Every structure is written in structure tokens, then in C-alpha cells.
Amino acid sequence: MADAYAERTFIMVKPDGVQRGLVGKIIKRFEQKGFKLVAMKFMWASEELLSKHYSDLSSRPFFPGLVKYMASGPVVPMVWEGLDAVKTGRFILGATNPKDSNPGTIRGDLCIQVGRNIIHGSDAVESANKEINLWFTEKELVSWPRTVDSWVYGEN
Ligand code: IDP
Ligand code: MG
């Protein structure tokens, strides 16, 4: 398959998404869209890891609260692969603040408050690579052939 189909994005169900029982619903949206799952785990992340994950936001006033929120329960980090996975992933998520997220997006449909917006998604290919390497080892990233790809991308 073409290299363009191998773009990867880092998606993570946040602790409120896990607590509210939305993990399956969120995975389903990426799965049904046609993206390919490359890695996934269930873990309780440390404040240290989360501070690294959100290092770009460390000077923002909401940063301490954000790290506390993200460390308040288990999360489901994932890697999804496909054509324009980063940009399309952000569309699937919806705007950062759920009051601005369109209906039909995950945040638009399933949450209300910016500080409890249930899901993370990389905002660029560069940050996706950084985040994937922060949360997963090389061994945990599974490359696998998927026969349905010829139907998803039309190269058959
Ligand atoms: P993103 O998650 O859509 O990429 P970012 O600006 O990278 O948005 O912010 C990271 C996370 O920080 C958001 O998803 C949200 O949980 C939280 N956040 C962003 N802005 C605010 C705010 O004004 N108050 C509280 N939390 C915020
Ligand atoms: Mg962000």
C-alpha cells in the first residue's frame, strides 16, 4: 500500500471517557471510519509522563489541573494509521472546547466541558510521532497487513 496510507496519529481516551464507559464507542468511530489499529493499552499514567505529554502547555494556567485530571484514573492510549490520520483524527474528535465542537464529532456528541473533553488526538504529524514514541515502545507498534485495505483505499 502507498506510504500515505501509513500516517499515524496518537489518540487517547482520557480518564473521564473511561469512567463514563465511552471507550468502546470511541474506538468504534475510528475503526468504522477505516483506520487501522496499530497499538493500544490500558494504563494509569503518572504525572511525570503526562507532564511530558503536555509539555507544550506547561506555561498555561490550566496546566496543573490538566495533569491532575489526566492522572485521576486510567486512560486508553492508542495509535491509529491511515491516509491523513492526524487531520482526519482531529475532525473525528471535534474542537477542543465541546461548546464549539460540531455535532457528529466525539466531543460534540459526548461531552460538555473543555476541562473534561474525554479524548486526546495529535494536532500534527510531528507531535504524533513525539507522542507515539512517548507512550509506546517500538515493539508495541504492530505492523500488520489488512486485506480490507484494498476496499478502503480502492487499489484493487
Ligand atoms: P487539544 O486537546 O484539542 O489538542 P490543547 O489546546 O492541546 O487541545 O489542550 C490540551 C487539553 O487541555 C485539552 O484537550 C483540554 O482537556 C485542556 N484544556 C485546554 N484549554 C483549557 C482551558 O481553557 N481550561 C481547562 N482545560 C483546558
Ligand atoms: Mg493538543
The per-residue pLDDT for range 49-97, each reduced to its tens digit, is 999 999 999 999 999 999 999 999 999 999 999 999 999 999 999 999 9
Cell of 119: 479524548
What is the pTM for the complete model shown? 0.97
C-beta 58 within 6 A of ligand 1: no
Q: Do the Cβ atoms of 69 and 116 come closer than 8 Å? A: yes
Instruction: Specify the pLDDT at position 156.
Output: 60
Minimal-distance CA residue to ligand 1 atom 27 = 115
- Active-site choice (120, 122, 128, 132): 120
CA geometry: angle at 135 spanning 132 and 137, to 5°?
80
Task: Write the burial class of residue 55 (CB in 10 Å: 0-12 exposed, 13-18 middle, 19+ buried).
Answer: exposed
Instruction: Specify the pLDDT at position 92.
Output: 98
Q: Do the Cβ atoms of 18 and 116 come closer than 8 Å? A: no
Instruction: Specify the pLDDT at position 2.
Output: 79
C-beta 114 within 6 A of ligand 1: yes
Query: What's the CA gap between 34 and 83, in Å, rounded?
Result: 10
Q: Do the Cβ atoms of 24 and 42 come closer than 8 Å? A: no
Expressed in angstroms and rounded, the spacing between residue 83 Cα and the centre of ligand 1 is 25
pLDDT of 155 over the 90 cut: no
Over residues 31-48, the pLDDT tens digits come to 999 999 999 999 999 999
